[in-house]
Chain A
Amino acid sequence: MATAALQPRRSIFARPTATTGWYSWVTTVDHKKIGIMYGVTAFVFFLLGGLEALAIRAQLATPNGEILSAEAYNQFFTMHGITMIFLVIMPMGVAFFNYLVPLMIGARDVAFPRLNALSYWIFLFGGIFIYSSFFLGGAPDGGWFGYAPLSRTLETRGMDFYAVGLQLLGVASLAGAINFIVTILNMRAPGMTFMRMPVFVWMTLVVSFLLLFAMPVIAVALFQLMFDRLFDTTFFNVAAGGDPLLWQHLFWLFGHPEVYILILPAMGIVSEVLPTFSRKPLFGYAAVVFAGAAIGFMGWGVWAHHMFAAGLGPVANSAFALSTMFIAVPTGVKIFNWIGTLWGGSLRFTTSMLFSLGFVAMFIIGGLSGVTHAIVPHDAQQTDTYYVVAHFHYVLFGGALFGIMSGLYYWWPKFFGHRLSEKIGKWNFWLWFLGFNLTFGPMHIVGLQGMPRRIYTYPDGMGWNLWNMMETVGAFIIAVATLFFLFNVVVSRRKGREEAGDDPWDARTLEWMIPSPPPEYNFAEIPVVSHRDDFWHKKYFVGPGKTAEPVFAGGADHDEHGTDEHHIHMPSPSYFPLIAAFGMLITAYAVIFALPAVAIGLLVTTLGFFGWVFEPGTAE
């Protein structure tokens, strides 16, 4: 809904006006506040998912471990996967999208601020909903991939929470995707053409399109699973003629684009960080952009490589093997571009830079082991072993999470006005890097030795003991590194704050030309963009001798009343997104526990949307 299109009129639906205090956060529609809420929530879930990982590693440290029962282990590894994918890496990406995309394209907010708030609240409630299963009869225990027919027949309520909870998160993602597509296509500052957009914005656009088309597919699979479990339909009931392979197709039709949904935001972050700390423009901007778009496109043609062991037949297997090997090409293009960016640059090894370099190195390892999966006979050996676990942790932890950490250190000054300590940051990075490789490196070896995934314990004498103990030690080192990060956040905030200034890294993109943290309206005057890396060109003339020459933007788009901030109309806060999202939470619980109460949930959601439509455009 175009909030600005609604004229202020007398109404019972007055809009809240608070700009500080907890109420201002609950009703906010400011993309920056929503971005921070996404980040904080995702980090809390990261700690939870990390604790689950530690429990798993403690259990597997020695043969015949007795810390977790088989039932508890199944719940923990399932929840670890669900948490890290849906509640950590995806929303961390969305946190950066939210905070940065409007700033990078020179906009005052996203296209649909209230829809943005709705996305956040649904995400938060979805996460709480899934986690509440621990107290309501057991968490999901059929793997994050929820393979049928097992997911259909597991007897605890866990997989009900899985089917309904992921549905909620999917709604949040879909709404967010539409919001960012429209924002990027429609809200760019004058002169910000597509080929002048920062790579991070490009990657956001590609991810949004992937979400737009992938989310409905998993929605259908989850509906089918939910109907199977709650109403005894026969989608995946083999005895009645259902076909479990259908689940695999639908799941991976979503699941492979999902992989790129997870990694592309990190690639966008790295593409911003490396040029800044190399003091060079990104090498081959157009190639990086097109490679990103190509990955997004080709990501739709490789899903069945997750199903090589399912018996699709040699023709299908060969076709998907070829497409999978081929998708490594644009990925390789990006890696060469990043290396080309570093080449000959005057490098500054800040913590952010180290995490980005770590990303490139670890992602190469994860990417190469990924190509080995593309070879069908090879995959037949690796499938369901720890080798696969090693592979996807190298891309999702060594890749996505390293990129996210790099982004946090890079944009922290912009978010909060002060830098994180570089000294503690270096400890954070090196411990994290060491712990990561110690945990997931040996998994390649035990995997090739044949240690299966998802087993809750293993016998002595298989030759796996040493490696497993190393992995567990590594996992606890990662935990310590994470504590260093938390320590850094607290210490940097309290004593001797390093005030960041607007542009602490001498960076290139528009967000660095405004104060840190940015005012609510972002840009007092909407900038006019004339170059790629526009802020750099505003600071420096290309020519002999780099003299800093401040050139302030002209105002093609400025408010008719002038640039006084009091005349910039920002959308007012609203509590209706929260109400609509809360109705969905009620609906979700009702589906599992008291079907007739679904009506109540839908009613609350409908009322929320009615209030949404009828509330005035501003608080006046």
Chain B
Amino acid sequence: MSTHDAALQGPPHHEEHQTSTGLDNTKMAMWAFLGSECLFFGSFISTYLLYRSRAAGGPTPAEIYDIPFTSVSSFVLLMSSLTMVLALAAIQRGDERGLRTWLLATAFLGMTFIGGQIYEFTTFYEEGLALSKSPFGSSFFVLTGFHGAHVSVGILMLLALVGMSLAGRLPQAESRKVELIGLYWHFVDIVWIVIFTIVYLVPTEG
């Protein structure tokens, strides 16, 4: 029997660190969740692609999009990925103050993006593109709205991390928490990379 050989393999660990693949449970769960989210946003983006030319007499994408404005807010969200990854680098080298600074910067950039989205939605509504106006309006608002909801949840989690850090509950050893929320945040960012290109920049034919 090889049971004794197996028994000798590896030094004794604490149980929580020993997984079959050597990978962290929570991180694997987060990646699985992000894989799932690809289908979620894929469904909404496809709906938009199907409906973007169906304006039902209301504003069309070409008439209503403000590309310079959206470019700026896209840039803001893109840079929030940089501040997020700097927050992770800070906690991994034990710099709790740097961690809080970069987390707050990330949350601030996220809030700027959300503010821009609120402004954009309001403007579009005033220009005649209501949620119920046309399939274009419905699919645009619901797609970007769900993305905005994801950003908002991310902001909440970032602020919670800042609170934990202030309370002394986020030491270097728990950098995994920052990494997980970072993964979520970057994912929301790359979804916007896709949305910015497909929804805003790719012109609607006919």
Contact = CB atoms under 8 A, between A and B. Distances in A.
A and B touch in the complex (CB under 8 A): yes
A5 interface: yes
A186 B25 contact: yes
B4 A187 contact: no
A177 B33 CA distance: 9
Interface in A206-236: 212-217, 219-221, 223-224, 227, 231-235
Contacts of B10: 556
Contacts of B205: none
A182 B29 contact: yes
Contacts of B146: 223
A212 B35 contact: yes
A220 B16 contact: no
A528 B7 contact: yes
Which of B3, B21, B135 has the largest count of A CB atoms less than 10 A from its CB? B3
B3 A559 contact: no
Given A216-B43, A530-B1, A185 B135 contact: no
A241 B54 contact: yes
Interface of B: 1-4, 6-10, 12, 15-16, 18-21, 23-26, 28-29, 32-33, 35-37, 39-40, 43-44, 47, 50-51, 54, 56, 131-135, 137-139, 141-142, 146, 156, 160, 169, 174, 176
Given A233-B138, A240-B135, A551-B1, A2 B36 contact: no
A47 interface: no
A60 B191 CA distance: 51
Q: Which 8 A-B pairs have the closest CB atoms?
A: A216-B40, A220-B43, A233-B138, A4-B16, A186-B19, A554-B3, A554-B7, A241-B54
B29 A111 contact: yes
Interface residues of A, number: 59
A7 to B, nearest CB: 9
A233 B131 contact: yes
A186 B20 contact: yes
Interface in A547-588: 551, 553-557, 559-560, 569
B16 A185 contact: no
Contacts of A231: 131-132
A483 interface: no
A217 B132 contact: no
A434 interface: no
A250 interface: yes
12 contacts: A2-B24, A177-B32, A181-B28, A187-B20, A216-B40, A227-B131, A233-B131, A233-B138, A234-B132, A242-B51, A530-B2, A530-B3
A335 B21 CA distance: 33
Contact of A242 (B16, B18, B37, B135): B135
Nearest to A231: B131
B104 to A, nearest CB: 19
Interface stretch (A188-196, A338-346, A367-375, A469-477): A188-196
A113 to B, nearest CB: 11
Contact of A2 (B25, B39, B56): B25
Contacts of A243: 50-51, 135
Contacts of B7: 528, 554-556
Contacts of A319: none
A455 interface: no
Contacts of B19: 186-187
Contacts of B12: 560
A185 B6 contact: no
A568 to B, nearest CB: 9
Interface string A512-554: 0000000000000000101000000000000000000001011
Interface string A285-312: 0000000000000000000000000000
A192 B20 contact: yes
B138 A188 contact: no
Nearest to B55: A241
A174 interface: yes
B27 to A, nearest CB: 9
B30 to A, nearest CB: 9
A219 B39 CA distance: 10
A399 to B, nearest CB: 26
